[in-house]
Structure 1
Amino acid sequence: MKITLTKAELRNAVAGLAKIIPSKTGIAVLGCVRFYVEGGDLKAQATDLDQTLVFTFDCAECEGQGEIIAGFPMLRELSKGAGTDTVSLEQDGDKVMVTNIVGGHAVTSTAEGMEARDWPESGAEIEVGEAKDFLNAYRRMAPFASVDETRRTLQCVYVDVSGDGERNATLVATDGKRLCCCNSLKLPVDDENGVMVPVTKFLLWNGLAEDVMLGVSKTKAGGRVCVRSGNWTYRVKAVDGMYPNWRQVVPVKDGMAHTLTFTDADAEAMAKIVPALPGKEAVGLEGCDGGITLRGQDGDRQVRVPLTAGSAYAGTGCSVTVNRQYLLDMLRAGFRNFMFADGHSPLLSDDGKGAKHVLMPLRYDGPPRPQPAAATSAAAAQQDQAQADNATDNNTKPTATVPPAEKETQQMKQEQTTTPQQQQQEMTALERLQAAYDVAKAKVRDAQSALAEVAAAIRDAVKEERKRNDEVAAVRAGLAKLQSIKV
């Protein structure tokens, strides 16, 4: 089989295939691209076992039948140069003959190839249907999904189809501290339990057009999602498990006494102001007399910046503290308001177009207040007397007095040490079971990857044994010919 491609089209294919081909892998074939002909069209395929991506060429020339499996690093280098120049690949046993047109001259070389039978199976085709606005909503929700590897069921955008009416689909993403949802979509998903679409580099790639077709297939082996757009066909394994009941954490607007509304101009300014405020994580939002003020604090240093481009506050006065990165993510997603009952209640945002955002505030009690000198001395004296009495009763030496500042530091360290245990105790049995399941599943995935590496090593060993047998057979045939010669 011989194929000829233009560098412009090869460059387009390489840009997308790079989103799923791993940079380092113990399985050699996963670092390659498979070229094959289907339905009269030349296609390039890549996979990492969980994802499969296929690019269909429009201007390729093919001669003969078969498949070509070539290394991705080589293809990336071949794609450089003038878009009108061409590249030819031809399979020659376990080698690939490469002809690269550079400056009008043909440069021929030989590269290592892979056998077609080493390529992993990609599964059956998935029927797709129209999915208007799906990709745009998916990309809007993705920043709010969890990045914690131990919470696999939250590392996705959940497609919930339990709503009423024709446009019953809602996309949801959460990391446990914030939640974002977008409803009123019509998607070709029939499963009443919906589907959890993992957050992947390819679906977030800006080279993929937003007008896509979507399909979902669920079998005993698990669910798969197919997205088709232009020359691309992308299939990915759906996340297994049960998504949390997200509807119960979305507050209702009734009873919310405070509303912060940001203008686009102030939202753009906040992208520069908020990171520059003192402090690491928290940022304060203060509403008073119809205006909004940003507050940043680091120890005794405090900075307040009023928003002057039309942002407004409605209420009797408020102060709420939130994570500054979460605030910026919310603004980038297009949300321009906060509604809440008080400084300790969830903050609800509604864009008026079917999308909502929920953010949990941070608790901030301010820097520790210094105690008067007299009170400090009296407290220290009482503590010394108590320790002396205790030592006398137990016939032991009195212990040294710990200064209040050092004692507070020790208490903070103890609290930091016991916090994970307290959090573990606060988890319900079902939550602990879900966490254990996610950890076990991650370990199973690691085991599957290790087994795949073992299988690849076995295939390499079989291939070497086959070559060795062929060489032995060739030597024996040569000896037989020599023995048949009569002098």
Structure 2
Amino acid sequence: MKFVVSSTALLNVLQTSSKVVSNKNTLPILDNFLFDLHDGVLKVTASDLETTLVGSLPVESTEQEGVIAAPVKLMLDSLKEFSEQPLTIEANESTWEIRISWKTGQLTIPGTSGLSYPTSPEIAADAKQEIVSGADMLLAGINKTIFATADDELRPVMNGVYVNIEPETVTFVATDAHKLVKYAAAAETGTAASFILPKKPANLLRGMLGKEEEDIRMEFDDKNVVFYLKNHTLICRLIEGNYPNYNAVIPSNNPNKVLVDRVELLNGIRRVAVCSNQSTNLIKLEIEPGVINLTAQDLDFSVSAQESLTCDYEGEAIAIGFKSTFLIEILSNIETQNVSLELADSTRAGVFKPVYDEAPGADTLMLLMPMMINA
């Protein structure tokens, strides 16, 4: 294998692909990138067996095609030191030595045969489904929900983002049993299906979708999903199992409605939460017409804090407790100036919704379970 390639272009592909590589690989070969040069295009594959990312890069010239596995850390450490310039990369297929040459020097690093690199899983033809999604919609769905995913070994289905596809809507849901986020966007899919996307590939997509200008094609069956991006293909194993019935936990009849400035409420919670109990992070909201009283205390250290904020409120006076860290997470992931909080009583979940000046193209709902307020 011998080819010439731009140092910056190669480094960009390697840095993106390297995010897949695990620190605890079960197979030594997975500590390598797989370089596959064919028809003037270099394909760089990185995998941890669960998730595989394939980056494509046109090379400037090709003398000899081939396949080789190159060590991830050495390749990245070497290429980081180059300014933009053409590099000649040559791999000896008898010794598997990789030589990188440039105008004023060269370096050699040990590679290995790529024959033992695991092949990427393929989508079953008889169960394959396909949709095309806007990159912005997919990015928004992941951004809105991924913070609410769980880290629960006993309930793995809650460790990912649930994607529910309907003919005219795509809904993204995440929950950790304390908080729940549901983001529904209008989309002409023409099909009905669902899958649970694990957290790691969801985070990888987040990092790549911001640079995508065209629509993203997705293919999936009941075990794997493939995302086709402009210069990358992401293949990942889905989380198998039945996602909880999230609609059943969203309270539908909430007579008490609060409209409040989101930034003021968020900053007030941050100030008051400093004095909350370190183990529970409990903060109490006492809501009555025109005012929200925030209080927190830690009797062990004799500290307490209180703040009053103005609001618009419809309903009876109510006192409800929430975990301050979850409240801050939810309010930080809403982008509008004002937020609506809907409550039934102090024992049922609070429903947070962004308040838009104009009708939005998507519907966002965030739910937070209350905590008991000790008298």
TM-score range, shorter chain: 0.7 to 0.9
CA distance 1:291–1:136, change in 2 (3 Å):
same
What SS does structure 2 have at the residue aligned with 1:355?
strand
Aligned counterpart, 1:301: 303
1:100-134 C-alpha deviation (Å, 9 max, x unpaired): 43xx511232x222212111111337885421202
Q: Does the 8 Å CA contact 1:42/1:62 hold for their aligned counterparts?
A: no
Aligned counterpart, 1:62: 62
CA shift at 1:82, angstroms? 4.1
In the aligned structure 1, how far is the partner of 2:363 from the partner of 2:333?
13
1:180 to 2:178 alignment: no
Q: Does the 8 Å CA contact 1:178/1:357 hold for their aligned counterparts?
A: yes
State the one-letter code of the partner of 1:176.
Answer: A
What SS does structure 2 have at the residue aligned with 1:142?
helix
**What is the percentage of aligned positions where both structures have the same residue?**
20
In the aligned structure 1, how far is the partner of 2:75 from the partner of 2:173?
38
Q: Which has the higher strand share?
A: 2
Q: How does 1:88-127 map to 2 (within 5 A)?
A: 88-92=88-92, 93-101=94-102, 104-109=103-108, 111-124=109-122
Q: Does the 8 Å CA contact 2:14/2:44 hold for their aligned counterparts?
A: no
In the aligned structure 2, how far is the partner of 1:207 from the partner of 1:215?
13
CA shift at 1:26, angstroms? 3.6
Tell which deviates more after alignment, 241-250 or 312-321: 312-321
CA shift at 1:196, angstroms? 0.9
CA distance 1:292–1:142, change in 2 (3 Å):
same
In the aligned structure 2, how far is the partner of 1:345 from the partner of 1:127?
38
What SS does structure 1 have at the residue aligned with 2:328?
helix
What SS does structure 1 have at the residue aligned with 2:241?
coil
Aligned counterpart, 1:202: 204
In the aligned structure 1, how far is the partner of 2:116 from the partner of 2:178?
44
Aligned counterpart, 1:136: 140
Q: How does 1:9-24 map to 2 (within 5 A)?
A: 9-24=9-24
Q: How does 1:412-423 map to 2 (within 5 A)?
A: none
CA shift at 1:347, angstroms? 0.8
Aligned counterpart, 2:258: 260
Aligned counterpart, 2:346: 343
State the TM-score, normalized to the length of structure 1: 0.67
CA distance 1:27–1:140, change in 2 (3 Å):
same
Q: Does the 8 Å CA contact 1:2/1:63 hold for their aligned counterparts?
A: yes
What SS does structure 2 have at the residue aligned with 1:351?
strand
Aligned counterpart, 2:359: none
CA shift at 1:19, angstroms? 1.4
In the aligned structure 1, how far is the partner of 2:105 from the partner of 2:157?
52
1:45-74 C-alpha deviation (Å, 9 max, x unpaired): 111111110111145433212112100001
Which structure has the higher relative contact order (CA within 8 Å, separation 6+)? 2
Q: Does the 8 Å CA contact 1:323/1:362 hold for their aligned counterparts?
A: yes
What SS does structure 2 have at the residue aligned with 1:262?
strand
In the aligned structure 2, how far is the partner of 1:274 from the partner of 1:231?
47
Q: What residue ranges of structure 1 are gaps of 5+ in the alignment?
A: 367-487
In the aligned structure 1, how far is the partner of 2:263 from the partner of 2:81?
43
CA shift at 1:40, angstroms? 3.9
Q: Does the 8 Å CA contact 2:40/2:58 hold for their aligned counterparts?
A: no
Q: Does the 8 Å CA contact 1:142/1:157 hold for their aligned counterparts?
A: yes
In the aligned structure 1, how far is the partner of 2:245 from the partner of 2:191?
19
State the one-letter code of the partner of 2:187.
Answer: K
What SS does structure 2 have at the residue aligned with 1:118?
coil
In the aligned structure 2, how far is the partner of 1:187 from the partner of 1:129?
9
What SS does structure 1 have at the residue aligned with 2:223?
strand
What SS does structure 1 have at the residue aligned with 2:75?
helix
Q: How does 1:452-463 map to 2 (within 5 A)?
A: none
1:208-260 C-alpha deviation (Å, 9 max, x unpaired): 53655142322xxx5211223231211101111111111111111x3x23223
CA shift at 1:44, angstroms? 0.8
CA distance 1:292–1:33, change in 2 (3 Å):
same
What SS does structure 1 have at the residue aligned with 2:55?
strand
In the aligned structure 2, how far is the partner of 1:215 from the partner of 1:351?
29
Match of 1:158 among 162, 165, 168: 162
Question: How many residues are aligned here?
Answer: 352
In the aligned structure 1, how far is the partner of 2:172 from the partner of 2:313?
30
State the TM-score, normalized to the length of structure 2: 0.85
CA shift at 1:98, angstroms? 1.9
CA distance 1:144–1:189, change in 2 (3 Å):
farther
1:382-426 C-alpha deviation (Å, 9 max, x unpaired): xxxxxxxxxxxxxxxxxxxxxxxxxxxxxxxxxxxxxxxxxxxxx
In the aligned structure 2, how far is the partner of 1:250 from the partner of 1:136?
21
Q: How does 1:39-438 map to 2 (within 5 A)?
A: 40-92=40-92, 93-101=94-102, 104-109=103-108, 111-124=109-122, 129-132=131-134, 133-161=137-165, 163=166, 166-186=167-187, 188=189, 190=191, 192=193, 194-200=194-200, 201-205=203-207, 208-209=210-211, 211=213, 212-218=215-221, 222-252=222-252, 254=253, 256-267=254-265, 269-270=267-268, 272-273=270-271, 275-280=273-278, 281-299=281-299, 300-307=302-309, 311-334=311-334, 336-351=339-354, 353-366=362-375
Q: Does the 8 Å CA contact 2:170/2:186 hold for their aligned counterparts?
A: yes
